[in-house]
Amino acid sequence: MQSHLSSCLDPRCGIVKVVIIVKDGKKADDKTKLKPQVLRMADLVDYQKGSVVSRTIVDKKAGTVTLFAFDKGEGLSEHAVPYDALVYLLDGVAEVKIEGTPFLLKEGEFVVMLARKPHALRAVERFKMVLIMVHA
């Protein structure tokens, strides 16, 4: 079953919103998103020119796991969230600023972002990442 991912940036908070639409035009439910199987994370989200695309893999009270694909030059403006988070780069190059300090991440590298600390992301080159947020 094919799915189409579309995204838009919310200018109020810099958060990416995603709608997953299954081929027949219906919104996907939990049964059509993912089933237990072996997958490559980088294959679950595609680049779109001039966009940030995301796909939520896990969305539970305890936390979330979300995949992102950023086209070169795209980013998320500075914001803070009430949760600890880990950003792991699947490919490409990204600059992650945490409390104004820039960190250059490349494929296979990660950085931890502490709750309530302002942070921003920018695609130095296009990149894919997984964001793991712990709601504790």
Mean pLDDT (the chain) is 82
Q: How confident is the model at residue 33 (pLDDT cuts 50, 70, 90)?
A: low
Whole-model pTM: value is 0.75
Instruction: Write out the two tokens for 57.
Output: 């893999």
Look at residue 30 and give its three-state secondary structure: helix
Decide: 115 and 49 in contact? Cβ < 8 Å: no
Tell me: the pLDDT tens digits for 47-106?
A: 999 999 999 999 999 999 999 999 999 999 999 999 999 999 999 999 999 999 999 999
Count of CB atoms situated within 10 Å of the CB of 14: 15
Quote the DSSP letter at residue 28: P
Q: What domains are there in the chain, each with its CATH number?
A: 3-134 (2.60.120.10)
Q: Please tell me the predicted confidence (pLDDT) of residue 4.
A: 36
Q: How many percent of the chain have pLDDT more than 90? A: 70
Q: Please tell me the predicted confidence (pLDDT) of residue 44.
A: 94
Decide: 3 and 11 in contact? Cβ < 8 Å: no
Neighbour-count burial of 128, counting CB atoms closer than 10 A to its CB (0-12 exposed, 13-18 middle, 19+ buried): buried
Instruction: Write out the two tokens for 59.
Output: 């969305």
Strands 63-70 and 119-123, sheet pairing: unpaired
